Amino acid sequence: MNSDQILKDTKDRMEKALNVFIEELKGLRTGRATPALVDNIKVDYYGSPTPLKQVAQISTPDPQQIMIKPFDATALKDIEKAIRSSDLGMAPNNDGKVIRLQIPSM
């Protein structure tokens, strides 16, 4: 390998590492609700693990709450189960139509 190839390879690796770091920072809990907190949750949807954002609309109606509204109402229990089994440490509130997650203040 010549020096140009080494520099290119190093630059590519650094960019990948930076992108991973940025994604990790998105999930950082700061006491403020952000949809990125639930981005990594996979829901067992019809037998296959599916990202939560593909089966539900995720919004933050206020700074301390994440609201998850499934596109298919039958997926509500599966979404709730996935949230409970995740490492978020939050209990979902299911009202039959949407799931609400309360973010504790710091």
The domain segmentation of the chain, as residue ranges, is 1-29, 31-102
Query: 31-102 has which fold?
Result: Gyrase A; domain 2 (3.30.1360)
The tens digit of pLDDT for each residue in 60-85 reads 998 889 999 999 989 999 999 999 99
pLDDT value at residue 22:
81
Global pTM reads 0.70
**What is the 3-state secondary structure of the chain?**
CCHHHHHHHHHHHHHHHHHHHHHHHHCCCCCCCCHHHHCCCEEEECCEEEEHHHHEEEEEEECCEEEEEECCHHHHHHHHHHHHHCCCCCCCEECCCCEEEECCCC
pLDDT value at residue 54:
93
Taking the CA atoms of residue 51, residue 53, residue 59 and residue 64 in that order, the dihedral angle to the nearest 10 degrees is: 10
pLDDT value at residue 63:
84
* Residues lower than pLDDT 70 in the chain: 26-32, 106
| Dist CA 53 CA 32 (whole Å) | 19
